Structure 1
Amino acid sequence: MARPSDGRKDQELINILTANARMPLAEVAKSLGVSRATVQGRLSRLEREGVIVGYTTVLGKDEVHATTLSAVIMIELEVKQQANVVAQLRKRPEIIQCYTVSGHFDLFVKIRCTTSTHLDEVIDSIAAMEGVRRTTSSILLARKFER
């Protein structure tokens, strides 16, 4: 288990990588005030422990919006249907994020499609899934910022 000071350094490392996962390890080490080997060791441990599970490409806002439509869907589930519905959602490549939430709805899902017809089909298929009581959808218009 990491010491509290190690935990703070781990969080700083995660914050740096969240802002720019392509930053050279030497620069990361300089920012953290530790050696490159220390950064590599921390990074390997965070990956091994499942804290960091992957890296991704984030497209610039003009590129993403030029080719896709995105929407968020709030999903209310029937009792004890979460595992079943999440398993069904996981099979759809258009669904890029899925979160449990507190409140009236049970799941928050973000989807990305190439056409409005495709987006409509995905929304309809989610609403028709066994275990889904109701959905509320909103199309995302413009990203103001992302961290």
Structure 2
Amino acid sequence: MDEIDQQIVALLRENARRSFQDIGTRVSLSPPAVKRRVDRLEAAGVIRAYTAVLDHVALGWTTHAVVSLFCEGNMSGSEILATAGRHPEVSAAYTVAGEASAILHLHARDTEHLEQALERLRDAPGIRRTQTQIVLSTLLERPVR
């Protein structure tokens, strides 16, 4: 990846809907040249997907919790992902070193909705217990640049 590729990636991270024309203007390339580079970045796996970043609060899901997930035995990361991925309230899942098996970020409409989501999570095979911390305010949340 050269400097121009890095600039293209940075521009797409800011706005994945940015046109090849706009990107080309900013990096001094023609739109077809930008498209070829983007195609190459996709083929190389540098760009894996394009997505919309949603505002949970604007969607009405104002309750945010960080949940430590404690699993039985040696539940693998793929098994944790399969379990967590079935719940629309789970916005992120990470395996971690330490006492917990994983850390999850959950978003819900309110505490009642959060409680229902936690009960569903705890009912899943292999899940021993959860430990939940409610987020009071978000001080910093930024994408990797």
Indicate conservation of the 8 Å contact 1:74/1:109, yes or no: yes
Say which of 66, 84, 98 aligns to 1:72. 66
1:87 Cα deviation after fit: 1.2
Is 1:51 matched with 2:83?
A: no
1:36 Cα deviation after fit: 2.1
**1:90-109, aligned counterparts within 5 Å?**
90-109=85-104
Which residue is equivalent to 1:30?
25
Distance of aligned partners of 1:34 and 1:99 in 2 relative to their CA distance in 1, 3 Å threshold = farther
**Within 1, Cα distance between the matches of 2:6 and 2:96?**
24
1:107 Cα deviation after fit: 1.7
Indicate conservation of the 8 Å contact 1:94/1:111, yes or no: yes
Distance of aligned partners of 1:10 and 1:72 in 2 relative to their CA distance in 1, 3 Å threshold = farther
Q: Which amino acid aligns with 1:15?
A: A
1:127 Cα deviation after fit: 2.8
1:61 Cα deviation after fit: 7.4
**Within 2, Cα distance between the matches of 1:28 and 1:117?**
45
Identity percentage of aligned residues:
26
Q: Helix, strand or coil: the match of 2:47?
A: coil
Say which of 110, 124, 128 aligns to 1:129. 124
**Within 2, Cα distance between the matches of 1:55 and 1:122?**
27
TM-score, length of structure 1 as denominator length:
0.74
Indicate conservation of the 8 Å contact 2:56/2:107, yes or no: no
Q: Helix, strand or coil: the match of 2:58?
A: helix
**Residue correspondences, number:** 140
**Within 2, Cα distance between the matches of 1:29 and 1:8?**
14
1:120 Cα deviation after fit: 0.8
Distance of aligned partners of 1:41 and 1:89 in 2 relative to their CA distance in 1, 3 Å threshold = same
Structure 1 runs of 4+ with >6 Å offset: none
Structure 1: 5+ residue runs without aligned partners?
1-5
CA RMSD of aligned residues (A): 2.6
Indicate conservation of the 8 Å contact 1:47/1:53, yes or no: yes
Q: Helix, strand or coil: the match of 1:98?
A: strand
1:62 Cα deviation after fit: 5.8
Q: Helix, strand or coil: the match of 1:104?
A: coil
